[in-house]
């Protein structure tokens, strides 16, 4: 039986939500990964250290006995410089959300220039900036591309600030990452594998609606190539973002794809298919360790080449979520975790 082992896999962009949803989805990530960067846009968003510590405790409780280190983030606001000095020891990054561009981001930034004192303080303290890089452009498919001048402005003005271009989805975005030494990117499973035809080709599939939206074949292929090559500027971040089934299957479906149950089996399958298995360790762990300067728990996740079927539905007492690739078979499955 063919096997493949990943040392300390990391998910560098993860939404775990809260309450019942947190208890449902956290074990899927905690079993497969050694750690993950936890996004702060719960309700209410994480804007104080008290809220941060309380949420971290809830995350760990939801992970149960799995070895999993949550790397915490906070919602970027006009904090005083002294606050950043206090927060630096407790967070891996500050998350910049333009106001209203995605789930629970209403309290986000309305004007990037107004945050320059905060960005300067973060640069001085070596606190990375994590960015949801979209505008409110009328054309949904151009929102990431239209945000690129803002990212470029930040990278130029704060050259020692590490800027994390989250869930990159376009070939234009990848070029910006290549052009600027201080811009890095996370890549999702869904932007590696899906296009707008999957979302709304023959019929609309609300479970594949996300922000940034999945795009053209050329964008998908560019993102896939970047992941497969696993350059030191990119790393895996799932942007796994669950919503209740009843919300997704409604007239106002929220953005978010829940990918956690499928991630490692699908990644191994994809990298093997393209003859790039040797690059997967870098993509799903080592690059992130280098970019962020972290040392995650030692955890060995072994996968074997045998059929694994993604659950058709993930549920607990009060919540149901449809995962990415629901009920589909993978060529690989997790066989052991040590």
Cβ–Cβ under 8 Å, residues 299 and 21: no
- The CA distance from 208 to 205, in Å, is 6
CA angle 148, 130, 185 (to 5 degrees): 60
The one catalytic residue among 239, 278, 286, 318: 239
First CA to last CA distance, the chain = 19
> What are the residues whose beta carbons fall under 8 Å from the beta carbon of 27, sequence distance 6 or more?
62, 63, 64, 66
Residue spans of beta strands (DSSP E) within the chain:
3-7, 10-14, 35-38, 69-75, 93-96, 129-131, 163-165, 183-187, 234-236, 300-304, 308-309, 314-315, 320-321, 329-330, 333-337
β-pairing, 300-304 vs 308-309, is unpaired
User: Nearest-CA neighbor of 270 among 335, 325, 213?
Assistant: 325
β-pairing, 308-309 vs 329-330, is antiparallel
Q: What is the largest CA-CA distance in the chain?
A: 57
Cβ–Cβ under 8 Å, residues 132 and 185: no
Cβ–Cβ under 8 Å, residues 279 and 230: yes
Whether 318 sits among the annotated catalytic residues: the reply is no
Instruction: Give the catalytic positions in this structure.
Output: 239
């Amino acid at each position: 039986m063919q096997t493949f082992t990943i040392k300390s896999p990391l998910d560098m962009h993860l939404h775990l939500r809260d309450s019942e949803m947190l208890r449902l989805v956290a074990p899927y990530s905690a079993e497969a990964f050694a750690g993950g960067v936890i996004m702060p846009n719960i309700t209410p968003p994480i804007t104080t250290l008290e809220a941060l510590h309380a949420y971290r405790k809830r995350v760990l409780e939801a992970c149960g006995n799995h070895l999993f280190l949550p790397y915490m983030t906070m919602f970027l606001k006009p904090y005083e410089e002294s606050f950043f000095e206090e927060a630096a020891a407790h967070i891996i990054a500050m998350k910049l959300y333009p106001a209203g561009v995605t789930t629970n981001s209403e309290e986000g930034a309305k004007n990037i220039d107004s945050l320059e004192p905060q960005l300067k303080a973060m640069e001085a303290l070596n606190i990375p900036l994590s960015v949801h890089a979209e505008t409110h452009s009328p054309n949904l498919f151009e929102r990431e591309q239209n945000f690129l001048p803002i990212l470029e402005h930040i990278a130029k003005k704060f050259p020692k600030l590490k800027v994390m271009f989250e869930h990159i989805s376009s070939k234009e975005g990848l070029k910006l990452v290549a052009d600027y030494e201080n811009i890095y990117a996370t890549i999702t499973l869904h932007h590696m594998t899906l296009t707008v035809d999957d979302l709304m080709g023959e019929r609309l599939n609300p479970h594949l609606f996300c922000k940034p939206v999945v795009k053209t074949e050329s964008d998908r292929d560019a993102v896939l190539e970047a992941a497969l090559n696993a350059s030191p500027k990119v790393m895996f971040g799932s942007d796994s973002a669950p919503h209740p089934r009843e919300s997704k299957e409604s007239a106002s479906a929220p953005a978010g794809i829940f990918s956690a149950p499928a991630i490692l089996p699908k990644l191994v399958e994809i990298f093997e298919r393209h003859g790039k298995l040797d690059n997967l360790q870098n993509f799903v762990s080592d690059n992130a360790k280098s970019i962020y300067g972290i040392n995650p728990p030692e955890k060995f996740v072994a996968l074997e080449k045998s059929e694994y079927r993604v659950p058709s539905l993930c549920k607990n007492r009060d919540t149901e979520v449809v995962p990415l690739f629901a009920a589909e078979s993978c060529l690989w499955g997790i066989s052991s975790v040590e």
